[in-house]
Amino acid sequence: MRRTILITGGAGFLGSHLCDRLIADGHDVICVDNYFTGRKQNIEHLIGHPRFELLRHDVTFPLYIEVDEIYNLACPASPIHYQHDPVQTTKTSVHGAINMLGLAKRLKCRIFQASTSEVYGDPSIHPQTEDYWGNVNPIGPRSCYDEGKRCAETLFFDYWRQHRLEIKVARIFNTYGPRMLPNDGRVVSNFVVQALKGEPITIYGDGNQTRSFCYVDDLIEGFVRLMGSPRELTGPVNLGNPGEFTIKELAELAIEMTGSKSTLTFLPLPQDDPKQRQPNISLAKEQLGWQPNVPLRDGLRHTIEYFDRLLSEGAAA
């Protein structure tokens, strides 16, 4: 059934891919963004499409529009960007959630929250399951993001309990792919851009910390399945790729796949950087029939092609 769907953060990395997917599925999409880390280039191919509408708006302010479904993705995701103005990051997560929940409550519509594996902090159980409560520093440099997202989850579950709102909470693990910002600061974009430019690959710490990398197309399929799941399935549901790699392995892969002459350089590990991270996705497999299909090498190939094109156009120079 054709629906009108609001995507906050729709001009960002994940949001723009979600816009593409929902337009392709035949829906009307309203993309809301304040362009803090999003770019018009990510969605410019949709501008002028009869079922696409773009709205410059900051979700920390109320929004009165009429839609059938809401995906709430607005929030900077890279540590560099979310630590740039930490108070604004918390406001975006918390006030943004309140406003979008208020909108969903008035419209009696489903609302999806892009939560994060960061709610597990530096996890003491491995791999992480949804029933793990996490190990988060409440007063550190990552707290604006981690605690902001945790508070947003609290709000979602209180609106569900108090107002019977239909909520869908996804805990997203590290995701990568085309349309990440070249200077975004996240590890995949940093390493690929550095390798393509022949610059030193910046490994923070000894590179033995691990992450599990999900290709964007796989993740977006998970979003759509979760949103379409039965009412009782509120989540939180882990969405990510269980393939776990050390950061050093990722650096070596980026060098190998680009044929780069880049060397490795070791820089201090940022405070509170989680040592390991891997999703347990049993719940998503059982309840959504979802699992990622794109191996790291294949996803990296698409990502390398994207950044190579961007660099040759001079956009990331």
13 binds, among ligand NAD, ligand UDP, none (CB under 5 to 8 A by kind): ligand NAD
- C-beta separation of 205 from 273 below 8 A: yes
Structure tokens at 109: 């519509």
220 binds, among ligand UDP, ligand NAD, none (CB under 5 to 8 A by kind): none
- Of the residues 71, 82, 120, 145, only one is catalytic, namely 145
CA–chain centroid gap for 62, Å, is 23
- C-beta separation of 177 from 217 below 8 A: yes
Residue number with the shortest CB distance to ligand UDP?
102
Measured from the CB atom, the residue of 23 and 63 that comes closer to ligand UDP is 63
Binding mask 269-298 for ligand UDP (x = CB under 6 A): -x--x-------------------------
Measured from the CB atom, the residue of 58 and 153 that comes closer to ligand NAD is 58
Quick check: 247 binds ligand UDP (CB under 6 A)? yes
Quick check: 204 binds ligand UDP (CB under 6 A)? yes
Q: What is the dihedral of CA 116, 117, 118, 121, to 10 degrees?
A: 160
Q: What is the dihedral of CA 155, 161, 164, 170, to 10 degrees?
A: 50
**Where does this chain touch ligand NAD (CB under 6 A) — which range of 123-131, 171-179, 258-266, 309-317?**
171-179
Which of 26, 62, 228, 295 binds ligand UDP (CB under 6 A)? It is 62
**Which single residue is written with the structure tokens 């629906």?**
3
Which of 187, 195, 281, 288 binds ligand UDP (CB under 6 A)? It is 187
Which of 30, 54, 77, 226 binds ligand NAD (CB under 6 A)? It is 77
Quick check: 302 binds ligand UDP (CB under 6 A)? no
116 binds, among ligand NAD, ligand UDP, none (CB under 5 to 8 A by kind): ligand NAD
**Where does this chain touch ligand NAD (CB under 6 A) — which range of 53-61, 130-138, 249-257, 300-308?**
53-61
Tell me phi and psi for residue 156, to 5 degrees. Answer: -60, -45
At closest approach, how far in Å is the CB of 110 from ligand UDP? 15
β-pairing, 69-72 vs 52-56, is unpaired
- 115 SS3 class: strand
At closest approach, how far in Å is the CB of 154 from ligand NAD? 16
- C-beta separation of 173 from 130 below 8 A: no
Measured from the CB atom, the residue of 188 and 227 that comes closer to ligand UDP is 188
Structure tokens at 224: 């759509």
Could you give the CA distance from residue 180 to residue 182 in angstroms, rounded to a whole number? Answer: 6
Measured from the CB atom, the residue of 106 and 231 that comes closer to ligand UDP is 106
Does the active-site annotation cover 145?
Answer: yes
Burial (CB < 10 A; 0-12, 13-18, 19+), residue 85, is: middle
Range 261-290, binding ligand NAD (CB under 6 A): none
Could you give the CA distance from residue 185 to residue 166 in angstroms, rounded to a whole number? Answer: 34
190 binds, among ligand UDP, ligand NAD, none (CB under 5 to 8 A by kind): ligand UDP
Interior angle at CA 180, CA 177 and CA 185, nearest 5: 120
Could you give the CA distance from residue 65 to residue 236 in angstroms, rounded to a whole number? Answer: 27
134 binds, among ligand NAD, ligand UDP, none (CB under 5 to 8 A by kind): none
Could you give the CA distance from residue 91 to residue 85 in angstroms, rounded to a whole number? Answer: 10
Which of 57, 81, 186, 225 binds ligand UDP (CB under 6 A)? It is 186
β-pairing, 244-246 vs 264-267, is unpaired
**Active-site residue set:** 145
